[in-house]
């Protein structure tokens, strides 16, 4: 991040006041107790204070009165030699002197060390040594209005092996009204890995983004924004409800209609809603001249975020102290609380807010019709606010200042197919593979096992599978590394050759084979078998011919095979093989030569150029070319040039059907899924191919 970008973010911060983000770093409070975590907190705030010309105030509370009361309570239990009045009086004087002077000396020594470190860095240091209960005095300081943020260690001098978070840290975090920076790992420095920020569409989450961008500008770190949603929770909840509702109660509650509405929203809508939050985050960053990486995660939000920060090696996680569903009485959100206890990296819980200009303007300038209000109220309450925001953004994008019911239908129809319908879907029961059942049997607690069972069924249905496989169960199990099959280097190298858009699903399928066969290791042979199974699923092989029938497959010359091998392995190569062989048969050839391959490629190139110019067969003009994310552009570049234009055109169609305004990796993955098992990329004649 360059100096102008850094200055712009700081100016954005300086132009705001009060509890708006990014938080000021001018007045930093840090809790000191000489523990490794506290010392690391001091080191990090000195770095931040230097970048902001801020002042660091160390705080250490000592409980002299508490120690005095404890001593008085123990007097009656002292050995007999101390029970003479003269001796007891002497002991009281000694203890009083120890308390009044000794604890002061200890506190001063902590401040001396903090002052020396700040002096060496050219940072102003102040001391705060209140008498009283430690967490109470730290909280009082945060509520004084004298400080912008607090830094403290997750553990203190009383830490023992197995501690997750100290009682002082947890009590302070819950009660602190200012941004709180928690040190989780004394050996980890800010900037050792990216800064990850959680986005849920709330003003606090966008405040977390602004703070993350500001911190990244100061320490030179990359920012990665994530949004996590749980598409499985409501499936589990509705199945639980179904077990207790009588038939009559189900009719009154209109249970099937409600279930279908939630199903459609969960499967298609919430992902798009949270994706829109990430797009707003990208826009905010771009307006500040900063490029961020975004990722949509599914699963239990805190668990999905934990897995992500572990995968990217984050040095800091920034989240709002409460989330989009928080209320005035909530001291800390459930996901924030779990992350505070379990995150392996440092954590910043922000209480500063930021309202994206688009949302602020829309709320103030856009009115709703009675019909539109009635229609949006049909969205389940837990996502209604997010749905309103999507409609407002779309309305403003079109230049309207009045929301009508047709605009609600347009937006929600894309996010939630069937929004205007009330039909109830009928879903068939899924079978379970033996390995998946064995995995579920490892869960000892029946209630937890039933919850995982329903989540696995939901995941299998989202994969359009007819059977629940181990890959549908494992995401909800806390499996140790030893519980998973080991991969040989050769097997990993083989899977690395699979196209990126289907690599993870192929790898999961191979692990399923290993689990089904109770194998502890994935060999090259098993990997080859798994890849072949995946290819067969993507490009079904025609039924075998009778012995006297001529086989469909044509022989290929070595140079023709070598040319074909340059097409990415998987369904794209198999599709290419089938189309070339069909071309050869039409020409009456009995084998495929290099010249024939090149001729077919040339024909494709002309058709691809035509598609690029006209948009599609029968269309008068092509829609404007969409921009690509960096990773999506790199993936598209790997597509052979002779078919790249028409493939990209189909990916653009897919992105538009997903409601996106740019090509993302998710759009490429979605398009790839739609092409599986087909012999062409074109979507003409298959309406809604990318919406199913």
Please state whether the peptide bond connecting residue 22 to the residue before it is cis, i.e. omega within 30 degrees of 0: yes
- pLDDT confidence bin for 345, thresholds 50/70/90: very high
Report the alpha-carbon distance of residue 448 to residue 436 in Å, rounded. Answer: 15
Segment of 73-77, 107-111, 245-249 carrying the highest mean pLDDT: 107-111
Token couple for 15 = 């132009």
Burial of 469 (0-12, 13-18, 19+ CB in 10 A): buried
* Residue 34 DSSP code: S
- Which of 44-48, 332-336, 592-596 has the lowest average pLDDT? 592-596
- pLDDT confidence bin for 340, thresholds 50/70/90: very high
- Which of 50-54, 137-141, 466-470, 647-651 has the lowest average pLDDT? 647-651
- Which pLDDT belongs to residue 27? 95
Report the alpha-carbon distance of residue 605 to residue 648 in Å, rounded. Answer: 13
How big is the chain by its Cα radius of gyration, in Å?
31
Q: Residue 208: pLDDT above 80?
A: yes
Share of the chain above pLDDT 90, in %: 26
- Which of 445-454, 551-560, 577-586 has the lowest average pLDDT? 551-560
- Mean pLDDT value across residues 537-549: 46
Q: Residue 333: pLDDT above 80?
A: yes
Token couple for 667 = 């759009």
Q: Residue 691: pLDDT above 60?
A: no
Please state whether the peptide bond connecting residue 626 to the residue before it is cis, i.e. omega within 30 degrees of 0: no
- Mean pLDDT value across residues 615-643: 63
* Residue 482 DSSP code: G
- Which pLDDT belongs to residue 618? 38
Q: Of residues 333 and 269, which shows the higher confidence score?
A: 333
**What are the pLDDT digits (tens) for 404-416?**
888 888 777 666 5
**What are the pLDDT digits (tens) for 377-404?**
777 666 677 778 778 777 777 767 678 8
Contact predicate 654/671, CB 8 Å: yes
Segment of 213-217, 260-264, 502-506 carrying the highest mean pLDDT: 213-217
Is residue 536 classed as helix, strand or coil in its secondary structure? helix
Q: Of residues 39 and 392, which shows the higher confidence score?
A: 39
- Which of 8-22, 291-305, 360-374, 599-613 has the lowest average pLDDT? 8-22
CA angle 472, 477, 482 (to 5 degrees): 105
* Residue 367 DSSP code: E
Beta bridge partners of residue 153, listed in sequence order: 183
* Residue 318 DSSP code: E
Segment of 219-228, 264-273, 500-509 carrying the highest mean pLDDT: 219-228
- Which of 24-28, 68-72, 644-648 has the lowest average pLDDT? 68-72
Q: Of residues 358 and 313, which shows the higher confidence score?
A: 313
Report the alpha-carbon distance of residue 564 to residue 557 in Å, rounded. Answer: 11
Report the alpha-carbon distance of residue 651 to residue 690 in Å, rounded. Answer: 9
Q: Residue 653: pLDDT above 70?
A: yes
User: Which domains does the chain possess?
Assistant: 24-177 (3.40.50.620), 195-350 (3.40.50.620), 357-415 (1.10.8.550), 431-529 (no CATH), 555-675 (no CATH)
pTM > 0.85: yes or no: no
- Which pLDDT belongs to residue 101? 62
Mean pLDDT, the chain, integer: 77
- Mean pLDDT value across residues 82-94: 58
- Which pLDDT belongs to residue 343? 94
- Which of 179-183, 347-351, 423-427, 483-487 has the lowest average pLDDT? 423-427
């Amino acid at each position: 991040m360059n100096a102008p970008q850094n200055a712009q973010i700081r100016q954005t911060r300086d132009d705001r006041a009060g509890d708006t983000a990014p938080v000021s770093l001018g007045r930093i409070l840090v809790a000191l107790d000489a523990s490794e975590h506290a010392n690391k907190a001091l080191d990090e705030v000195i770095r931040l204070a230097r970048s902001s010309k801020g002042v660091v105030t160390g705080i250490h509370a000592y409980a002299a009165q508490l120690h005095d009361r404890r001593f008085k309570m123990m007097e009656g239990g002292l050995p007999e030699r101390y029970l003479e009045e003269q001796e007891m009086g002497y002991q009281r004087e000694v203890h009083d002197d120890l308390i009044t002077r000794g604890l002061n000396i200890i506190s001063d020594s902590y401040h001396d060390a903090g002052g020396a470190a700040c002096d060496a860095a050219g940072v102003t240091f102040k001391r705060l040594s209140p008498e009283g209960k430690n967490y109470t005095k730290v909280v009082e300081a945060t509520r004084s209005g004298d400080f912008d943020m607090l830094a403290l260690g997750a553990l203190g001098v009383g830490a023992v092996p197995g501690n997750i978070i100290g009682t002082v840290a947890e009590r302070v975090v819950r009660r602190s009204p200012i941004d709180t920076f928690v040190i989780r790992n004394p050996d980890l420095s800010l900037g050792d890995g990216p800064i990850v920020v959680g986005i849920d569409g709330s003003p606090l989450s966008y405040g977390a983004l602004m703070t993350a961008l500001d911190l990244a500008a100061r320490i030179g770190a990359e920012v990665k924004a994530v949004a996590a949603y749980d598409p499985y929770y409501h499936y589990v909840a509705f199945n639980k409800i179904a077990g207790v509702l009588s038939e009559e109660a189900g009719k009154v509650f209109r249970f099937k209609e409600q279930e279908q509405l939630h199903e459609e929203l969960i499967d298609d809508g919430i992902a798009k809603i949270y994706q829109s939050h990430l797009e707003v985050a990208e826009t905010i960053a771009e307006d500040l001249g900063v490029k961020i990486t975004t990722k949509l995660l599914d699963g239990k939000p805190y668990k999905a975020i934990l897995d992500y920060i572990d995968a990217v090696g984050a040095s800091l996680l920034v989240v709002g102290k409460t989330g989009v569903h928080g209320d005035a009485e909530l001291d800390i959100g459930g996901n924030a609380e779990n992350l505070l206890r379990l995150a392996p990296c440092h954590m910043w819980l922000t209480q500063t807010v930021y309202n994206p200009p688009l949302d602020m303007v829309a709320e103030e300038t856009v009115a709703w019709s009675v019909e539109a209000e009635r229609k949006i109220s049909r969205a389940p309450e837990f996502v209604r606010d997010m749905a309103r925001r999507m409609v407002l953004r779309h309305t403003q994008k079109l230049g309207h200042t009045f929301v009508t019911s047709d605009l609600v239908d347009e937006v929600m129809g894309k996010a939630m197919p069937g929004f205007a319908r009330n039909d109830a879907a009928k879903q068939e029961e899924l079978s379970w593979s033996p390995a998946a059942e064995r995995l579920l049997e490892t869960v000892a607690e029946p209630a937890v096992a039933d919850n995982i069972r329903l989540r696995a069924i939901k995941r299998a249905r989202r994969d359009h599978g007819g059977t629940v496989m181990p890959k549908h169960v494992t995401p909800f199990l806390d499996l140790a590394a030893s519980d998973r099959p080991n991969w040989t280097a050769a097997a990993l190298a083989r899977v690395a050759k699979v196209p990126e858009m289907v690599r993870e699903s192929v790898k999961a399928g191979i692990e399923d084979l290993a689990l089904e066969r109770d194998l502890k290791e994935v060999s090259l042979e098993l990997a080859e078998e798994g890849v072949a199974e995946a290819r067969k699923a993507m490009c079904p092989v025609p039924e075998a011919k009778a012995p006297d029938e001529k086989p469909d497959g044509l022989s290929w010359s070595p140079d023709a095979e070598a040319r074909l091998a340059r097409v990415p392995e998987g369904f794209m190569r198999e599709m290419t093989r089938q189309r070339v062989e069909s071309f050869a048969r039409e020409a009456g050839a009995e084998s495929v030569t290099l010249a024939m391959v090149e001729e077919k490629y040339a024909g494709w190139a002309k058709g691809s150029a035509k598609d690029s110019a006209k948009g599609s067969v029968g269309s008068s003009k092509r829609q404007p070319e969409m921009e690509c994310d960096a990773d999506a552009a790199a993936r598209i570049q790997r597509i052979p040039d002779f078919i790249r234009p028409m493939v990209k055109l189909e990916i653009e169609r897919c992105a538009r059907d997903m409601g996106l305004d740019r090509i993302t990796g998710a759009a490429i993955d979605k398009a790839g899924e739609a092409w599986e098992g087909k012999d062409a990329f074109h979507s003409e004649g298959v309406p809604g191919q990318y919406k199913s």
